[in-house]
Amino acid sequence: MSTVSSTITNKMQAPDDKAMPVTEDKVMPVTEAKPEQTVLEEGVTVGTPFADDPKFKLRDVEVFYGETQAIKNISLDVARNEVIAFIGPSGCGKSTFLRCLNRMNDSIDSCRIKGSLLLDGQNIYDSKRDVVELRARVGMVFQKPNPFPKSIYDNVAYGPRIHGLANRKSDLDDIVENSLRKAGLWNEVKDRLDAMATGMSGGQQQRLCIARAIAVSPEVVLMDEPCSALDPIATARIEELITEMSESYTIVIVTHSMQQAARVSNRTAYFHMGHLVEVNDTSKVFTTPEHELTESYITGRFG
Ligand SMILES: Nc1ncnc2c1ncn2[C@@H]1O[C@H](COP(=O)(O)OP(=O)(O)OP(=O)(O)O)[C@@H](O)[C@H]1O
Ligand SMILES: [Mg+2]
């Protein structure tokens, strides 16, 4: 086949790619795209990757695992109190880039990060920076709920205790209750705060992890596919929560669900093989994407 889309599809097969083989009848006609446009230039992102007065100012970010480069010269601002969604095919670097924002890659020995990454104008990678404090400011919720094998109460109280946020038991009780309320879980668990968190349903566990993340009053919450292990009802609850949280937090969410990105985010960033191809208002990305690769992805031609 000589169509552009088939060329792209063939190039996109990541080792764990779940993409369906593109057959002739599934290929949508690409009328305006030219093959040369699919050659990605490092550091070039179409759309609106920058913001005034950003929460994160990220410039020329490159990430290597050993000799392999996973992130290729990405520059992006994350605006204050926005919800930005990271989308793109499996293996394109979404989680790697997300983890740079609170130094979660530090624990991976082979991982090296280059470039300038600023949080409120301060270098995230400053050798003098307290990483525990950074992660209190920039919390994280993972794909698989990971409650500690402790009680519901102790899970939420964990961060405030470490950071000395409550002097009295009643203060800690208030933080636990407020965090569980914000996470939409209070009514379900208020009578069993001493029960083991691991005995909760998956959706409850994920909301507990969100409560645990917000118990230390973070400024930013990073979420890496927070709903991928949840049913549609639990997913809807978490999405509602993200929308509520967006009033007070900056949220960066990685998702494979384009409907989810469309529902919860203000801007969407499309990643592709370590490049940041396009950043635009979410409505634009899903209606009139600027880059042909974004269009191919959102129309299901690969990924
Ligand atoms: N700990 C690691 N060690 C070595 N290589 C890694 C590591 N983590 C990720 N990579 C590689 O970096 C690249 C980007 O991976 P990453 O997990 O960031 O992609 P992703 O977009 O989050 O994918 P997915 O949608 O499947 O979660 C891939 O080639 C992956 O194999
Ligand atoms: Mg990932």
User: What is the identity of the amino acid at 133?
Assistant: E
Q: What is the pLDDT of residue 39?
A: 77
Q: What is the pLDDT of residue 231?
A: 87
Tell me, in angstroms, the distance from the centre of ligand 2 to residue 174's CA.
34
Shortest-distance ligand to the CA of residue 97: 1
As given in the structure block, the two tokens for residue 197 are 């968190």
User: How far apart, in Å, are the Cα atoms of 91 and each of 14, 132, 289?
Assistant: 7, 28, 21
1 lines ligand 1 (CB under 6 A): no
The answer to whether the Cα torsion of 166, 169, 175, 179 is positive or negative is: positive
Residue 281 has phi, psi (to 5 degrees) of: -55, 140
Residue among 65, 254, 270, 297 whose CB has most ligand 1 atoms within 8 A, to mutate: 65
Strand 68-79 relative to strand 54-65, pairing: antiparallel
Q: What is the pLDDT of residue 196?
A: 98
156 lines ligand 1 (CB under 6 A): no
Q: For residues 115 and 81, what is the distance between their CA atoms, to the nearest angstrom?
A: 24
As given in the structure block, the two tokens for residue 57 are 């100012």
95 lines ligand 1 (CB under 6 A): yes
Q: What residue's CA is closest to ligand 1, atom 3?
A: 65
Q: What is the pLDDT of residue 261?
A: 98
Q: What is the pLDDT of residue 173?
A: 98
Shortest-distance ligand to the CA of residue 94: 1
What is the mean pLDDT of each successive set of 10 residues along the chain, which is 303 residues long? 34 38 44 56 95 96 98 98 97 98 96 98 97 96 95 98 94 97 94 97 95 96 94 90 93 97 98 98 98 95 68
Torsion of CA 147, 179, 151, 169, to 10 degrees: 140
Q: For residues 290 and 279, what is the distance between their CA atoms, to the nearest angstrom?
A: 9
Tell me, in angstroms, the distance from the centre of ligand 1 to residue 254's CA.
13
65 lines ligand 1 (CB under 6 A): yes
Question: Which residues touch 50 (CB under 8 Å, ≥6 apart)?
Answer: 75, 76, 77
92 lines ligand 1 (CB under 6 A): yes
Question: Which residues touch 172 (CB under 8 Å, ≥6 apart)?
Answer: 157, 160, 161, 166
Q: What residue's CA is closest to ligand 1, atom 6?
A: 65
91 lines ligand 1 (CB under 6 A): yes
Q: What is the pLDDT of residue 303?
A: 58
Shortest-distance ligand to the CA of residue 224: 2
Residue among 72, 96, 271 whose CB has most ligand 1 atoms within 8 A, to mutate: 96
Domain boundaries of the chain, sorted by first residue? 41-298
Residue 256 has phi, psi (to 5 degrees) of: -95, -5
Q: What is the pLDDT of residue 15?
A: 39
User: What is the CATH T-level fold of the domain 41-298, as seen in this structure?
Assistant: Rossmann fold (3.40.50)
Atom of ligand 1 nearest to the CA of 88: 21
Tell me, in angstroms, the distance from the centre of ligand 2 to residue 220's CA.
19
